[in-house]
Structure 1
Amino acid sequence: MFQMRLCLLVLFITQPIFSQSITPEEVMGAWKVNAVSIAQNTDALPEKVRELKKVFEGAIFNFQGNGVFEIELQNKSSQIASIFKEFTGTNWILKNNSIHIGYEADIYSYMRIQIEKGAKTLFKLPMIQLEVTKTKDAKPKKFKKLKSKYPKTRVLNSLKKPVFKTKEFDEGTVIPYSEVQTPPVIGDCEITADIEEMKKCTSQKVSRFLNRKFNTEIANDINFSGTAVTKIRFIIDVDGSVYNISATSTQPEFAEEGKRVIGLLPNFTPGQHNGKPVAVSYVLPMTFKVVE
């Protein structure tokens, strides 16, 4: 059965890596990735690690003096790359020797990078670490506060209540996502003859939505560390609305938060089977990785 996979990677900084604080002026400028290596003791999905390594090979991180962040990727074709490209044109701040990337309204939660300086400079992210070299300096300027590209940020969406609709479906009327002839799509994803492209587009949209809306501070609240696996199930009805959201997880708090975020999803364009709209069952596995 086809299952859309999302690996939500959460990095929480509990203490500085080294005692001497790094300054924003040291960070400002362009940094080129020279080498990518897998972090020790990672138990993430191997294919995700390989994809992540490929995405960051030769990448350039640009921390502008006015607080604007840009990233240039050499490998742009993967789903993960499309997510990281969204970070270009956001803000960056330095806090506790960690670079926080995003918007103020989203509490700079898009990405966090630990910096380790020694014989080599390392940018440490979940699952991987990047050996980087500074190729260009930048001078401090007045901070340019940017507004989110998205009309509804995580903070604003905390005011919106999720919708949990339930419905009894007759036996045989719900088609698994892997078997439906025309899968449901979301947002600006188009219905085309390329079924795999439709699935890829919807996967990317839902992944970005979850990454923006999921309250990652839950892990801090419950003092969680390690890895948690969560599986969310729901049905996309013939009108495109989401019904019967359920979730299981090795960490119950993540299951509840996953259900909340899915309850915020906008309507899909419904799937079709034999030329008619049908209800489609959807399974969404997620892996949460928290590194201390």
Structure 2
Amino acid sequence: MKTKAFLLFIMLLATIGFAQTGETEKQQINTEEISANEAEPMAFNLAEVPPLASGCKAKWKVEKQRECTRKFIMNHINRNLNTDLVSELGLTGFFKTDVSFTIDKAGNINNISAKGGPEIMNQNAVEVIKILPQFTPAMHNGEMVAVYLKFPIAFDIQ
């Protein structure tokens, strides 16, 4: 239980830091540059309307929508990640896995990768992200766009 609480705390801190950098990036990137490279997914924080998880409302302000989707993903990870896998191997200490993925123009999850932690945790993180439900797609300049996200998952096994 301590491990999961610590995991939630670390993810919350990381999300807050991630959210603060988004506004700075948004000011520095020209909208024309974004639409010129449509094949590449854009950063989650740069989409005019973020992808929406179930329970997140389209009528909310954009920042509230982003926060709702982030919380939905964090809660999903916390509920489904098996942190016991590492302790079963006899490993102890602080571990961090960076998981990244894309929410495509249809709202589906793809291009999932995880690195940085023990391989068994990286694999578990990918499996957890694979079972995320479909999202309402992100919008930018009136068109549906793919966005990418990166979540750090940190946990302390004692």
Matched, 1:218 2:95: no
Q: Determine if contact 1:241/1:268 at 8 Å carries over to the other structure.
A: yes
The Cα shift of 1:171 comes to 4.8
Alpha-carbon displacement from aligned partner over 1:243-276 (angstroms, at most 9, x marks no partner): 1111112322111100000001110110000011
Runs of at least 4 residues of structure 1 off by over 4 A? Answer: none
Sort the Cα spacing of 1:9 and 1:277 in 2 relative to 1 into closer, same or farther, 3 A.
Answer: farther
Q: Determine if contact 1:229/1:287 at 8 Å carries over to the other structure.
A: yes
Name the structure 2 match of 1:10. 3
Q: Which runs of 5+ in 1 are unaligned?
A: 1-7, 12-43, 49-169
Given the alignment, which residue of 95, 105, 118 partners 1:238? 105
SS in 2 for 1:10: helix
Q: Determine if contact 1:9/1:288 at 8 Å carries over to the other structure.
A: no
Of structures 1 and 2, the one scoring higher in RCO (CA 8 A, sep 6+) is 2
Q: How many residue pairs end up in the alignment?
A: 130
SS in 2 for 1:246: strand
Name the structure 2 match of 1:253. 120
Alpha-carbon displacement from aligned partner over 1:131-175 (angstroms, at most 9, x marks no partner): xxxxxxxxxxxxxxxxxxxxxxxxxxxxxxxxxxxxxxx954311
CA RMSD in angstroms, aligned pairs only: 2.3
Q: Which has the larger radius of gyration?
A: 1
Normalising to structure 2: TM-score of the pair?
0.74
The Cα shift of 1:192 comes to 2.9
- Equivalent residue letter for 1:234: F
SS in 1 for 2:134: coil
Aligned equivalents of 2:42, 2:72: Cα separation in 1: 21
Alpha-carbon displacement from aligned partner over 1:213-250 (angstroms, at most 9, x marks no partner): 11222022211211111111111111100111111123
Matched, 1:267 2:134: yes
Matches within 5 A, 1:52-201: 171-173=37-39, 174-201=41-68
Alpha-carbon displacement from aligned partner over 1:183-234 (angstroms, at most 9, x marks no partner): 1011111123511111111122112111111122202221121111111111
Aligned equivalents of 1:250, 1:214: Cα separation in 2: 13
Aligned equivalents of 1:200, 1:188: Cα separation in 2: 12
- Worse-matched range after superposition: 204-213 or 177-186: 204-213
Q: Which runs of 5+ in 2 are unaligned?
A: 14-35
Aligned equivalents of 1:202, 1:229: Cα separation in 2: 22
Aligned equivalents of 1:251, 1:268: Cα separation in 2: 29
Aligned equivalents of 1:260, 1:183: Cα separation in 2: 23
Normalising to structure 1: TM-score of the pair?
0.41
Matched, 1:289 2:156: yes
Larger fraction in helix = 2
Aligned equivalents of 1:284, 1:9: Cα separation in 2: 20
Identity of aligned residues (%): 27
Alpha-carbon displacement from aligned partner over 1:38-70 (angstroms, at most 9, x marks no partner): xxxxxx85x84xxxxxxxxxxxxxxxxxxxxxx
The Cα shift of 1:9 comes to 5.8
- Equivalent residue letter for 2:92: S
